[in-house]
């Protein structure tokens, strides 16, 4: 593996960092407090600036208006964008839109690409992804109650979904539903494109996360699909291929998320150091004592630095393996980075809050937002415990330990 930063990344990363630092960080608290919808005009202006700079949609090929970055370089950019909660949205690669663009580009028909992918890639509309159900354990996505039955030329969808990120204001959903309950468990479900103005589609609420329901893109919706009808042409890919398609977005998506989490780590560590340096503890014999002089604070800073560096190399190694050997070869690394980086992120954010004292738990800094909204990183996309179990079982298999 080559650890040299690619020349192209050396050129675009400083420009990305400058936009995040100069245009996004100064407005992020007003956006988080005032609401996503009220800030949209301002965010669209910055989006236009990003497009003019040639930094739009790093995950998409140039033919769709993107940068066409390979996975390693996109990962590096994702870390830079993670320095602000607004980064990925403003640069045209927010979840779940980024993953939806990728699977539409790879599996969509020409008509689906024209109707849904083109405006989504341009940032003219938003989408959501409906998989998780409140009645079934998210740690086992093959347990699914939502169904889609073919009735003539239409699919009829019935089901209850939640944690459908960005459903509020989305133009369409990609829904995972059981279409063949008699098939083997990974071949039972299909993906369907559902316009959100379809009769029977109901966004029940934005689910409060630690008391904050959010709005627009920054939200997680609970949805009912009651006899929702869509044309049979709205099937994405082939029938029964939902889990195979989902795997295509899982590996790259995990890299994007983990590198974004590392951006959050870097932001929190920087805030921790700045607060420790400026916060005075009083004086002894007339000598000022900054918080940074405390040994425990120095230990937190050093341990955070080491953990972040180690995590970054682990994620980039996984990205390199996906990029060069494919998703299947890197499946152990993909599970490793999910639980490893999520835990480091929460540790670093928690330390930063502690160093800030009472200020850290207020909404006067971005730390409380990170703490509340990123805690789910250890649950979303498979709980950490499941990923640890998967990695350990694969390793122990080489020693003759079989699954009981």
Average pLDDT of every residue of the chain = 94
Question: What is the length of the chain?
Answer: 404
Question: Which of the four pLDDT bands, split at 50, 70 and 90, describes residue 253?
Answer: confident
Alpha-carbon distances of 167 from 107, 127, 170, 278, 306, rounded to whole Å? 22, 7, 5, 42, 38
State the DSSP code for 60.
S
So what's the pLDDT on residue 73? 95
Share of the chain above pLDDT 70, in %: 98
Sign of CA pseudo-dihedral 257, 319, 273, 31:
negative
Share of the chain above pLDDT 90, in %: 87
Average pLDDT, integer, range 147-163: 97
pLDDT digits (tens, 9 = 90+) for 274-288: 999 999 887 666 677
What structural domains and CATH numbers belong to the chain?
A: 7-108 (1.10.540.10), 127-236 (2.40.110.10), 244-397 (1.20.140.10)
- The whole-angstrom distance between residue 82's C-alpha and the CA centroid of its chain comes to 10
Average pLDDT, integer, range 363-371: 97
Question: Which of the four pLDDT bands, split at 50, 70 and 90, describes residue 147?
Answer: very high
Rounded distance between C-alpha atoms, residue 90 and residue 44, angstroms? 8
Average pLDDT, integer, range 236-259: 90
Q: What is this structure's pTM?
A: 0.94
Residue in 181, 184, 179, 168 with CA at minimum distance from that of residue 236 = 179
- Least trusted range by pLDDT, from 3-7, 27-31, 208-212, 255-259: 3-7
Average pLDDT, integer, range 169-189: 95
Q: Which residue has the higher pLDDT, 271 or 380?
A: 271
The C-alpha angle 334, 335, 339, rounded to 5 degrees, equals 120
Average pLDDT, integer, range 23-49: 96
């Amino acid at each position: 593996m080559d650890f040299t930063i690619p020349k192209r990344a050396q050129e675009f990363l400083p420009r990305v960092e400058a936009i995040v630092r100069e245009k996004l960080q100064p407005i992020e608290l007003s956006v988080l407090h005032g609401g996503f919808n009220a800030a949209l005009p301002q965010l669209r202006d910055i989006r236009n600036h990003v497009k003019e700079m040639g930094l739009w949609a790093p995950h998409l090929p140039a033919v769709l208006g993107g940068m066409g970055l390979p996975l390693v370089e996109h990962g590096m950019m994702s870390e830079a964008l993670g320095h602000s909660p607004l980064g990925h949205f403003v640069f045209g690669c927010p979840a779940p839109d980024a993953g939806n663009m990728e699977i539409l580009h790879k599996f969509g028909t020409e008509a689906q690409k024209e109707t849904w992918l083109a405006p989504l890639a341009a940032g003219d509309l938003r989408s959501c992804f409906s998989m998780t159900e409140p009645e079934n354990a998210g740690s086992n996505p093959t347990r699914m109650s939502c169904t889609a039955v073919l009735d003539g030329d239409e699919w009829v969808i019935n089901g209850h979904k939640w944690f459908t990120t960005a459903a509020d204001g989305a133009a369409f959903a990609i829904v995972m539903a059981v279409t063949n309950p008699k098939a083997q468990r990974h071949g039972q479900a299909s993906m369907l494109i559902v316009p959100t103005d379809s009769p029977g589609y109901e966004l029940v609420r934005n689910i409060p996360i630690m008391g904050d329901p959010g709005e627009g893109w920054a939200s997680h919706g609970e949805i009912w699909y009651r006899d929702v009808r869509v044309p049979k042409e709205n099937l994405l890919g082939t029938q029964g291929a939902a889990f195979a398609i989902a795997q295509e977005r899982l590996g790259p998506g995990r890299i994007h998320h983990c590198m974004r989490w590392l951006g959050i780590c870097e932001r929190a560590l920087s805030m921790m150091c700045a607060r420790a340096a400026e916060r005075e503890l009083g004086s002894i014999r007339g000598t000022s004592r900054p918080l940074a002089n405390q040994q425990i604070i120095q230990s937190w800073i050093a341990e955070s630095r080491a953990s972040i560096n180690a995590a970054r190399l682990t994620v980039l190694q996984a990205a390199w393996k996906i990029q060069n050997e494919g998703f299947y070869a890197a499946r152990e690394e993909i599970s490793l980075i999910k639980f490893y980086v999520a835990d480091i992120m929460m540790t670093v954010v928690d330390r930063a809050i502690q160093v800030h004292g009472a200020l850290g738990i207020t909404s006067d800094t971005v730390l409380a937002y990170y703490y509340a909204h990123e805690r789910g990183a250890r649950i979303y996309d498979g709980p950490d415990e499941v990923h640890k179990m998967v990695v350990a079982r694969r390793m122990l298999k080489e020693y003759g330990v079989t699954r009981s």
